[in-house]
A and B are shown apart, each in its own frame.
Chain A
């Protein structure tokens, strides 16, 4: 197996749900040695979240948990027990990074605040991911992915004017926060290596949206510049551009302004270049002109599949894409040729296709060395290395510590 970029990094992971686990999955998939701590008996709540293998809601069959926890060693530890906290502190001494995503009061209430842990390991990078950050009036507010999109992201301008604002799919905001936390971990580790002292990082999921790059910052700046609040836009607002029905589904095509000559080329209608309204940028911005052009475009699209339109548009280097379903994604030749989908063998579900590498490092590849851990799968390994003989593990188990 090739050496990986992060194979010299040790991570202690007390995260649950999505944002924290995706952060540590990235670190693990590029080589870091990650020990994930779960609560005895119940484990990470994402074990109880769907979808499940063969629709069987079993804690070792959650797609969400299995996807988010590849390459990690899994142990159980009750941090509410004194003995559990003692073991936790022993583990902290030997890692470079600690990632947690409890609500802000939890770690201090357990006596596991950064100041305490820093004394045990002065170079420790501690990453705290929370809904709204470690400070501020919303610190203890509850949130879901949708709540974060509403408060931090551009939900207000997502959707159409006649309807309510529209959220994104599932957990995508939390995933994004996880990647941002992984970047922050690496930034802090870079500094801590140079300086010889660690750092406590405060990631607010709300701010990963507010300072991220989707439309939010641009709209905020545009509002500062113009004084006008950005609204939801009506369908069909842009000339020769938008998502349109075609023969077998929907396809997006962008043929306005500088792309209009390409649109004309794709349609095979060179005479449109001389058209007084269609070929004029200022005229193009008028809604009635946009509507008029659709009488030409829509029939052309109706005769073609989304894949055919996409190819025709790309052959003239015009922006376009099909509206893919999950099935389209799995069957797509490009993603398959790039080996995006990977088969992972899991002791309970057997081999299943998972999403693969988010990016390819050619010298130090993304690799799956082991599937997500069964609950407490690596207790013996990890506690054994700390010097706890098997007999002690039995006692700790009986005391509800592991």
Chain B
């Protein structure tokens, strides 16, 4: 395989859940060496599990993706089999260190000395209490790039507030704007879109800072408030407020001007298609796809303005048609007629989808504790650099030998001592939740 563009860049991370890990996933996928510094004593909620050794009854009482262990069985090493973790941890290395001991900090600093970037996404005070601030790290390595990405950033009244992506979706204003019309926001489902925005911004920030460092020799601190990475996406609502003093409410699946614009039931159980018609040409395409029913010639639907005004009735009539057909069939016939439409894919559909298959999106990986499965692949393609997932999601402490012996130059005797002192291990310490 061709040399990957980011080979030679080393990133040390103390990252949890998704936002930080997604930033480094994007960089690891393209060749950066990403070392996860973990601990066998402390596990952050939803990183390698809701709790680290969940009983089988707990997993089976509520079967959701938050508990999706192989065959709904947490097995002997659930911390190596947690889907939330497996989603980002390919192509990365894992080592363990107990940062609550002075020796752990000393080891961490030695690793920093050999790194280009340190990235973390803990609550602000967590790193401060460990003494792992930018001021401290730059004494160890003057041109270090440190990326801190707590939920609300490293300054301001909420700097220590705890949050998951779902909470940030709420406090950034998104949840308010994406519930069903006429229903309360509880129906909107926890989504975690700010993990994606913060992660991608973290990767972008890392590459921008590297460019500046390579040009000037200077490192820097980057302060990312995860919530603020998503807020620009909502400019349509916030600028409607700053320009027009309007407080937008949720459009549900509708659009301010387009109609039809919605999600319609199809044949089969829980099958759906989305359709978005933006102009008369697309409306005519929709009519052709439906075999030009008489109702579509009605004055109520003759132009875009009328269609928008009679949207309830329009939606009902369209759903009468879609519900007689397979969701993929509706998408194909509409796209053939030039109408934006998409089947709403569930997990099965995604793995069978002809387009993702044609683009080779899913990739088979064998993991030592989970077996062989298909995983979502690399996000984009580059013409001169074919790419694929190189190593499976990292097991806890899997790369301790490499990190301690090859990078830090620790002797075999010292390694054994560090195992005894609780730094090095591949299993959570007894009694840890």
Instruction: Please report the C-alpha to C-alpha distance between residue A182 and residue B63 in the assembled complex, in whole angstroms.
Output: 37
B276 engages A144 (CB within 8 Å): yes
B173 engages A361 (CB within 8 Å): no
Closest to B18 in A: A213
- Choose among B152, B192, B264, B338 the residue that contacts A142 (Cβ–Cβ < 8 A): B338
B83 engages A170 (CB within 8 Å): no
The B152-187 residues at the A interface (CB cut-off 8 A) are 152-153, 155-158, 160-168, 170-180, 184-187
Chain A residue total in the interface (Cβ 8 A) = 159
Given A210-B376, A360-B224, check contact A183 B234 (CB 8 Å).
no
Contacts of B348 in A (CB 8 A): 223, 229
Q: Is A204 an interface residue (CB 8 A)?
A: yes
Given A150-B343, A172-B193, A215-B65, check contact A51 B240 (CB 8 Å).
yes
Contacts of B265 in A (CB 8 A): 164
Instruction: Please report the C-alpha to C-alpha distance between residue A150 and residue B354 in the assembled complex, in whole angstroms.
Output: 15
Q: What does the 1/0 interface line of B51-74 toward A look like (CB < 8 Å)?
A: 100110110011111001111100
A362 engages B220 (CB within 8 Å): yes
Pick out which of these stretches binds chain B: A349-357, A378-386, A388-396: A349-357
Chain B residue total in the interface (Cβ 8 A) = 171
Q: What does the 1/0 interface line of A46-68 toward B look like (CB < 8 Å)?
A: 00001111110000000110111
Looking at B45, B165, B225, which has the most chain A CB atoms within 10 Å of its CB? B225
Instruction: Please report the C-alpha to C-alpha distance between residue A358 and residue B229 in the assembled complex, in whole angstroms.
Output: 4
Instruction: Please report the C-alpha to C-alpha distance between residue A16 and residue B410 in the assembled complex, in whole angstroms.
Output: 54
A137 engages B355 (CB within 8 Å): yes
Contacts of B264 in A (CB 8 A): 164
Contacts of A107 in B (CB 8 A): none
Closest to B282 in A: A142
Q: Is A400 an interface residue (CB 8 A)?
A: no
Q: Is A377 an interface residue (CB 8 A)?
A: no
The B139-158 residues at the A interface (CB cut-off 8 A) are 149, 152-153, 155-158
A326 engages B345 (CB within 8 Å): no
Given A51-B246, A258-B45, A321-B170, check contact A156 B232 (CB 8 Å).
no
Closest to B274 in A: A150
A337 engages B71 (CB within 8 Å): no
Instruction: Please report the C-alpha to C-alpha distance between residue A331 and residue B383 in the assembled complex, in whole angstroms.
Output: 47
Contacts of B359 in A (CB 8 A): 133, 135-136, 204, 207
Given A160-B189, A176-B193, check contact A202 B374 (CB 8 Å).
no
Closest to A363 in B: B220
Q: Is the interface of B mostly helix, strand, loop or mixed?
A: mixed
Instruction: Please report the C-alpha to C-alpha distance between residue A92 and residue B203 in the assembled complex, in whole angstroms.
Output: 27
Measured CB to CB, the closest approach of chain B to A197, in angstroms, equals 7
Q: Is A300 an interface residue (CB 8 A)?
A: no
A154 engages B191 (CB within 8 Å): yes
- Choose among B171, B219, B344 the residue that contacts A322 (Cβ–Cβ < 8 A): B171
Q: What does the 1/0 interface line of B196-219 toward A look like (CB < 8 Å)?
A: 110111111101111110011011
The B244-258 residues at the A interface (CB cut-off 8 A) are 244, 246-248, 250-253, 256
Given A167-B274, A190-B207, A225-B68, check contact A176 B174 (CB 8 Å).
no
Instruction: Please report the C-alpha to C-alpha distance between residue A281 and residue B195 in the assembled complex, in whole angstroms.
Output: 27
Instruction: Please report the C-alpha to C-alpha distance between residue A226 and residue B263 in the assembled complex, in whole angstroms.
Output: 28
Measured CB to CB, the closest approach of chain A to B56, in angstroms, equals 10
* Extra 8 A-B pairs, beta carbons < 8 Å, given A182-B204, A250-B184: A166-B189, A170-B236, A183-B203, A191-B6, A201-B382, A214-B193, A282-B58, A321-B171
27 contacts between A and B (CB under 8 A): A6-B212, A22-B232, A51-B240, A136-B359, A142-B335, A142-B338, A144-B278, A146-B276, A147-B274, A150-B272, A159-B188, A168-B178, A170-B233, A183-B26, A199-B385, A201-B382, A213-B18, A214-B193, A215-B65, A218-B86, A225-B71, A325-B176, A330-B242, A352-B243, A359-B149, A361-B208, A361-B222
